[in-house]
Amino acid sequence: MDEWLKQLQTTLDLAAQNSSEWLVEVSQKADQAIEEWVDSSLEVAQEIDQAIAPNLARLGDQIDSALDSGLLFFDEHVASWVEETAAPLTQTVTPWLQNHPTCVGCRNYHGAEYGEEMLVCGMHPYGPDDETCPDWESVWPTDSDEA
């Protein structure tokens, strides 16, 4: 009975040794295949980079040109429209913030600083002297303005 047990143990040891050798060989071949794949992938990536780089530079120039023309259009057309559209709000709030309550909502209010001096409006550069202004015109459209 001991004989078949020794034979079984020898067979199992041999099978373990053979499978261990086979696994080592497979892992070495897998390592080699992965290294070759990585090397070829790097070569392909470098070739793609060399082929695409000039096109990317050209594309970047085209994008810059398009952005420049878009910003120029915005500056010429949209910015003035936004400023004109926001005028009722800015000419209503800004004078109040700058302590010119008589000028709140006036179409003639300018309120820009030049050097250290602020120009309130063309008629009253330093603001009106009285609590009311004879030149005050509403910035808000009226029915007569729309006609």
pLDDT in tens, 53-78: 888 888 888 898 888 888 888 888 77
**Is residue 79 one of the residues assigned to a domain?**
yes
**Better pLDDT: 1 or 84:** 84
Is residue 96 classed as helix, strand or coil in its secondary structure? helix
Give how far Cα 87 sits from Cα of 75, 110, 136, 141, 147, Å: 17, 10, 15, 11, 20
The residue range of the domain holding 23 is 2-140
- pLDDT surpassing 70 at residue 104: yes
- What are the tokens at 145? 């303005």
Number of structural domains (the chain) is 1
pLDDT at 94: 65
**Better pLDDT: 98 or 103:** 103
**Is residue 145 one of the residues assigned to a domain?**
no
**Is residue 97 one of the residues assigned to a domain?**
yes
**Is residue 81 one of the residues assigned to a domain?**
yes
CA distance 50 to 74: 37
The predicted model scores a pTM of 0.37
